[in-house]
Amino acid sequence: MAKILVLFAHPLLEKSRVHSKLAAAAKKVKGVTFHDLYEEYPDFDIDVNEEKELLLAHDIIVLQHPFYWYSAPPIIKQWLDLVLEYGWAYGRGGVALTGKFVLQVVSAGGKQELYSPEGRNRFTFRQFLTPFEQSFRLCHMEYLSPYVIHGTHRLSITEIAEVAAGYAQLLTALQTGQIQPEQLAGENYIDGVKGLIALNNSLHEQ
């Protein structure tokens, strides 16, 4: 059984339409450790030792957050800056996280077609996530194809419920070994709205 840690960051959860449902669904998945960074550290005073212990105790690290200004809410940056220490996570002797997997789960207001060289956002979504991907790779971790939920403003309550169910299914499949994390490797990303259909298709294409 893979041990999964969800590192969750949403600064305004009470106003969230998407992540409130995704978080509730993830919390119900047996064997998943759900760790809400804003709840735990409202003053950004991150307990580095506790975070390191959590990382060491899990195999798959899920980074779940909304896409803010082409990036992530600020506590994620604080977490990266403080927890992924030189000599522990990277650099000389920094091998503590070697071989662990990272799955980034991101929601974005912008629709998929806006994230292309021709679209308003000029770059692909995957390109915007490059600093995350490379940071984790520097820490000898395997960065999986991110799970992206596009066009959040237009998603209906029913669609959000379906996305949340798909997310929970993905976590369950990873936890039980029905899906091996290696199967989610690759250069693209998984469309969370199309959910497991997209996931199955991308698995078959490999």
Ligand X SMILES: Cc1cc2nc3c(=O)[nH]c(=O)nc-3n(C[C@H](O)[C@H](O)[C@H](O)COP(=O)(O)O)c2cc1C
Residues that bind ligand X (CB under 6 A): 10, 16-19, 66-70, 107-110, 152
Cβ atoms within 10 Å, residue 56: 10
Return the residue matching tokens 């969370």: 192
Nearest-angstrom CA–CA distance, 163 and 57: 28
Which of 190, 37, 118, 148 is CA-nearest to residue 202? 190
Give whichever of 66 and 181 is closer to ligand X, judged by the CB atom. Answer: 66
Minimum distance of ligand X from residue 66's CB (angstroms): 3
Structure tokens that stand for 206 in this block: 């490999």
What is the H or E stretch that residue 4 is in?
strand 4-8
**Residue 104 belongs to what H/E stretch?**
strand 101-107
Shortest distance (Å) from residue 23 CB to ligand X: 9
CB-nearer residue toward ligand X: 83 or 103: 103
CB 59 to ligand X: min, Å: 26
Minimum gap (Å) between residue 22 Cβ and ligand X? 7
Residue 99 or 117: which CB sits closer to ligand X?
A: 117
Measured CA to CA, the distance from residue 167 to residue 79 in angstroms comes to 23
Shortest separation between residue 60's beta carbon and ligand X, angstroms: 22
Spatial distance between the Cα atoms of 125 and 112, rounded to a whole number of angstroms: 8
Give the nearest distance from C-beta 195 to ligand X in angstroms.
17
- Distance CA(181)–CA(106), nearest Å, equals 17
Measure the CA–CA gap between 27 and 23, rounded to whole angstroms: 6
Cβ proximity to ligand X: between 26 and 84 the closer is: 26
